[in-house]
Amino acid sequence: MKTVIIGGVAGGASAAARLRRLDESAEIIILERGEFVSFANCGLPYYIGGVITERKNLTLQTPESFKSRFNIDVRIKNEAVKINPEARTVEVKNLVTGQIYEERYDHLILSPGAEPVRPDIPGIDSGIVFTLRNIPDTIKIKEYIERQKPKSAVVIGGGYIGVEMAENLREAGLEVSIIELADHLIAPLDFDMAADVHRYIREKGIRLYLNNGVKSIDGNTVILQKGEIGAELIIMSVGVRPETSLARECGIETDSRGSILVDKHMKTSIQNIYAVGDAVKTEDFITKSAAFIPLAGPANKQGRVAADNIAGLCSEYTGTQGSAVLKLFDMTVATTGLNEKNAAAADIDYDKTYIYSGSHAAYYPGANNLSIKALWDKKTLKVIGAQIIGFDGVDKRLDILATAIRFEAKITDLTGLELCYAPPFGSAKDPVNMLGFVAENIITGKIRQFFWHDIEKLPHDESVTLLDVRTQTEVQRGRIDGFIHIPVDSLRERMKEIPKDKPVYVHCHSGLRSYIACRMLAGSGYDCFNLAGGWRLYESVINERTVPDYICTECM
């Protein structure tokens, strides 16, 4: 049996190695048009920033190591230019010699990946504009910085790669700006969670131009929809699209985006041809709808599934939920599952809550609070999405929540998880447990919530009582107009000051003390609502709303 694999990065390399482990006698050929195989795409920004110092560390395997360990024939600088499904052959061009030859296959795996989108912007072909997809791209950017020594850089696009590039360019000593068409960075986040990211990234000296787009590039000037900005280096990072022209030309079915259509076995519409990775249309694990989620983890799993099926094992790919994590200087940002926009688009009747809990025991040095948001389906109570922002222990908690989603756990199941505890690592009641406790209180009616976006709709008259239960010191740092102040520890003695015949809307810093206040009030016959996420979240979002959408050039 002979299997030819087109594309030798995540999905293709994973498929080749798995197939060899399943079948020692199989003939396996990887065709890679570039000069590197099985390289670490996700590590490329860190080479530019100097965190990864050795270029060789970006390559996980070489043609030689593939041959010696797996007996796989890896042909770099060999480009597949045509597929003939009827004859089961691939036409290949040797990019060094120019020779064109045919390679027969019994099974074919397509893993061409995705290519950076280059919008039709005047000036985009300027010599200072770069995209980042592979090691040669990385080398070009690195050499340009070392040779030209630019002082300023603009990153167009605020997704994961764009933000990582901004961080690493800043670490390399450049003045950096990010331009993003949407109202917030990192699309899988909701705006309210992204507000913390925006504040932090500005503190690190990176300028943000949100709700803004690029009209043209004129020399060293980026002309925006609102304003303009100078730059000596420009990174174009506005997304990727599947690179599937080869598949389309041979008759393989694709969708309107160009993604290859595959079944759960990673089979395409043509017999004996499989496809994996960023080039394929996959299924959202939660909504079961079609999705394009280009991530390395899913690509590797899909490569394994394709190899299994070629070897006679009936493996299925069960969908992608979009679990991802981002390092931003010392901050960590992680997401999994659906955000509010996607949940609403899927017509899911969902609820949500926020907590602000320590990464480990407060009395042990170095604890930082984690800002956590979770969504669950009101009908089934299944966890459908989570977002976490913090500085320590973020990935650990997000991985737990991603696992809960994968095994279709209810949000209330989080209360019973027995997680590792010691003061340097966590708390006896872990933030994940706390998330379950808060959700359980909401679901069972022990507490009712209102949200930061509800505050401007609340009547500021005698029909309601607006109550702030923080300390006097906290109130002096900032307050919400119309809220009277009674510290939680004085509430029992002063409860008679609060009318009993109208609802009470309560907030504290994070939502914990106001929950305690609400339980006091409810136990005394009051109708009480607790501000989810508290003053901290409200202030973060409102502060973000008041920041100008762009910084004028005169202010820079």
Catalytic residue numbers?
A: 42
Least Cα distance to 5 among 98, 78, 100 occurs for 78
Are the C-beta atoms of residues 371 and 196 closer than 8 Å to each other? yes
Between the two ends of the chain, the Cα-to-Cα distance in Å is 63
Question: Helix or strand or coil: residue 373?
Answer: strand
Element (H, E) at 195: helix 191-203
DSSP class of residue 152 equals: E
- The two tokens of residue 116 are 């950076």
- DSSP notation for 71-126: --EEEETEEEEEEETTTTEEEEEETTT--EEEEE-SEEEE---EEE-----TTTTS
Least Cα distance to 410 among 449, 461, 375 occurs for 375
Cα–Cα distance between 348 and 143 in angstroms, integer?
A: 49
- The two tokens of residue 389 are 């922002």
- The two tokens of residue 421 are 């505890």
Least Cα distance to 177 among 150, 205, 196 occurs for 205
Classify residue 453 as exposed, middle or buried by CB count within 10 Å of its CB (0-12, 13-18, 19+). Answer: exposed
Are the C-beta atoms of residues 191 and 541 closer than 8 Å to each other? yes
